[in-house]
Amino acid sequence: MGKMMLLLTVFIIFGALFVERLVVFRQKLFADRVVPLKRLPNCELIPGIDNGAEDIDILPNGLAFFSSGLKYPGLKTFEPHKGGHILLMNLMSESPRPVELKIEGGFDIDTFNPHGISLYTERNDSIYLFVVNHPEGNSAVEIFQFFEEERYLLYLRTVTNELLSSVNDILAVGPEHFYATNDRYFRSETVSVYVEMFWGLSWTNVVYYSPKKVKEVASGFYSANGINMSPDGKFIYVADILDHSIRVFQKMSNMNLSPVKVLKLETILDNISVDRTTGDLWLGCHPNAAKLLSYDPKNPPGSEVLQVKDILSDKPQINQVYVDDGTIIQASSVAIMFNKHLIIGTVFQKALYCHL
């Protein structure tokens, strides 16, 4: 009788804990929000982008780079047998249209599966494009040099390391130096969802890479995602997609990151872009991330764009700029502002170009 009571007690405790975690897990994925539509005038879908523009970065002269064709475990893809590619669009032209960039230098384009991207320009004006790549489900960082006049990428090198285990986004800070976010601890999708995410394990991190040293510089994220830097280079912003928050760090002289503050949001944020002039943060967000994991064309994932002003102040201003229910654009992952033009990219669908 004593053993039965003990087992029953253990069962009740475990059941209560399971239900509690189920509620928390649902809140993390759904964000439990009813978000009214808020579309912008003067917007058009960018022709030629139908399989995602997961991340976008722009040079000061208006050349915009898009990573397209991401195939990621558990997420929808409309072209599963087509390789990924980098698109280029000149925002200064009268009718901007994306073109696929040619990659030279012996790069394996057949296994190219691009995710987060970041640009870096040296003092001699050499331009480098860093791309998170998932060839055959693995994680690597590809470094290319961009030749502007000829409009092509030259493959330089592939970076892999045991600390770069599940890279999501990247922030280039030198010709071979970068910060990278790992969005999951376990490599297995099943284990990651049902153990890591469900039980709320905050085991993901940010890693700093240089040719001489690789090290963890921030930890304790539920799922570290987008990463970017303030215009003055003093602060690093990291999105924790399951914590619905932006964590702000001060970049130290040894490249370590010192925590400054955490900004909680009501939505599920993905990539972070920073306006070079104002320092404002632009966020591609998911009003209901559960729809990403179980895609239904009749009830697709929506899109949301937030602008965060004065993030370092005591009262940052958060502006909801755009909301769509998936009718126009699905699963927004990035939003970036350039000369009063807003570009919204998605994980696996289209991209939107708005004239503000």
Residue 19 lies in a domain: no
Q: Which residues contact 223 (CB under 8 A, 6 or more apart)?
A: 183, 184, 197, 204, 240, 241, 242, 243
CATH number at residue 79: 2.120.10.30
pLDDT of residue 22: 40
Residue 76 lies in a domain: yes
Please, are residues 214 and 161 in contact by the beta-carbon 8 Å criterion?
Answer: yes
Annotation says 244 is catalytic: no
Residue 307 lies in a domain: yes
Range of the domain at 96: 33-355
Residue 17 lies in a domain: no
Distance between CA atoms of 146 and 154, rounded to whole angstroms? 6
Residue 28 lies in a domain: no
Q: How many other C-beta atoms can be found within 10 angstroms of the C-beta atom of residue 171?
A: 23
Amino acid 304 reads E
Residue 15 lies in a domain: no
Q: Report the candidate in 204, 238, 245, 164 with the shortest Cα–Cα distance to residue 196.
A: 204
pLDDT band at 194 (very low <50, low <70, confident <90, very high): low
Q: What is the mean pLDDT of the chain?
A: 90
Please list the alpha-helical segments (H only) found in 148-247. Answer: 189-191
Please, are residues 74 and 347 in contact by the beta-carbon 8 Å criterion?
Answer: no
Is the pLDDT higher at 154 or at 78? Answer: 154
Distance between CA atoms of 197 and 215, rounded to whole angstroms? 24
Residue 321 lies in a domain: yes
Q: Report the candidate in 60, 111, 59, 63 with the shortest Cα–Cα distance to residue 85.
A: 111
Once rounded to an integer, what is the mean pLDDT over residues 254-282? 96
In the set 115, 134, 244, 286, the catalytic residue is: 115
3-class secondary structure, 353: strand
Residue 10 lies in a domain: no
Q: Which pair of structure tokens corresponds to residue 271?
A: 């990539």
Binding positions are 54-55, 117, 168-169, 225, 270-271
Please list the alpha-helical segments (H only) found in the chain. Answer: 2-30, 189-191, 290-293
Strands, E assignment, 241-331: 245-251, 257-264, 268-274, 281-286, 303-309, 317-324
Once rounded to an integer, what is the mean pLDDT over residues 243-262? 97
Residue count of the chain, please give it: 356
Binding positions for Ca(2+) are 54-55, 117, 168-169, 225, 270-271
How many domains are contained in the chain? Answer: 1
Once rounded to an integer, what is the mean pLDDT over residues 31-38? 71
pLDDT band at 30 (very low <50, low <70, confident <90, very high): low
